[in-house]
Amino acid sequence: MAEPDDDKTAGSVAGEGQSAPEPLGPPVKSVSPKEKLAEPAKKPLPPRPEKKADGLRRTTEAEGEGNIWRVSRRGFLEKIGWVGIFSFLGVMLVGTLRYMFPRVLFEPSPIFRAGFPEEYLPGTVSTKWMKDYRVWIIREQDRIYALLGICTHLGCTPRWLEKEDKFKCPCHGSGFYRSGVNFEGPAPRSLERLKVARAETGEILVDRSVKFLFENNGWDNPQAYLPV
């Protein structure tokens, strides 16, 4: 394992010198290189910049080290290099994320035509579109709206019980009025209403991708019903 301050020769690239081979004779204590080099007395030199292990000179404090606007040619190119690398990687990342969202989907359109308003008698719940689209069309005296046939408890398909005037979910017994409001069972919310519009031909257009919740006052939204 690496330990800090492991290297005694602070930064010098040259390895420790070998002791000169002693001629044969009585054993003499070997002299270490450090002791050999006695510093001759001379006047003190100005402090030199600390040399790092790669032997390169670094900008000193006096020259403005730490100030990003004071950098050598080499340092500038180094910064440009890193900026370039990270920009490239960043763009690649963004590009890959965008790649995950295709522009064209091969799925059926959420919008379907539900016939003409005249086909629905006032005060009735039509189950005509339940099999294909899981949607009830309800006509009241003054308006038509569409309810999504997904129980708000755990997603089963409720049934319309004409005689009891309610939607009843077979899974756990959630009950909803013909308006969609939940009144019995474990369902926590009312059924969702869908966006309805008139096509150019006069037909009803139902958009299953736009939902309106009673809890958000969404049922008052003009897109949530067709006045008739």
Partner 1 sequence: MTFDLKKKITKSPVWKSAFRHDYKDTTRNRYLQVLSNVWLHLHPTKVARHAVEVRYTWGMGGISFFLFLVLTVTGVILMFYYRPTDQYAYYDMKYLMNDVPFGAFIRNMHRWGAHAMVITVWLHMLRVFMTGSYKPPREFNWVIGVVLLVLTLLLSFTGYLLPWDQLAIWAVTVGTNMARATPLLGHEGPLGPQLGMKPDNDVRFMLLGGTQVGPAALLRFYVLHCVFLPVAAGVLMIVHFWRVRKDGGISGPTGKL
Contact set with partner 1 (CB under 8 A)? 1-2, 4-7, 9-11, 13, 52-54, 66-68, 95-96, 98-104
The half-sphere exposure of 79 on its side-chain side, counting CA atoms within 13 A, is: 8
Q: Which long-range contacts (CB under 8 A, 24 or more apart) does 185-188 make?
A: 185/153, 186/153, 187/151, 187/152, 187/153, 188/152, 188/153
Q: Give min distance, CB of 45 to partner 1, in A.
A: 22
Q: Give min distance, CB of 209 to partner 1, in A.
A: 20
**Distance set, CA 171 to CA 150, 152, 167, 184, 185 (Å):** 12, 12, 12, 13, 10
For residue 45, give both structure tokens: 């030199």
Q: Give min distance, CB of 6 to partner 1, in A.
A: 6
81 Cβ contact list (under 8 Å, min separation 6): none
CB-nearer residue toward partner 1: 94 or 199? 94
| CB environment 151-161: b (16+ within 10 A), e (fewer) | bbbeeeebebe
CB-nearer residue toward partner 1: 83 or 199? 83
CB-nearer residue toward partner 1: 23 or 55? 55
CB-nearer residue toward partner 1: 58 or 134? 58
Q: Give min distance, CB of 175 to partner 1, in A.
A: 44
Q: Give min distance, CB of 28 to partner 1, in A.
A: 31
Tell which residue, 148, 164, 145, has the closest CA to residue 156: 148
CB-nearer residue toward partner 1: 29 or 103? 103
CB-nearer residue toward partner 1: 41 or 56? 56
Tell which residue, 209, 180, 206, has the closest CA to residue 115: 206
Find out whether 135 and 146 touch, Cβ atoms under 8 Å: yes
Q: How many Å apart are CA 26 and CA 32, to the nearest integer?
A: 18
Q: Give min distance, CB of 94 to partner 1, in A.
A: 9
CB-nearer residue toward partner 1: 53 or 154? 53
Q: Give min distance, CB of 22 to partner 1, in A.
A: 29
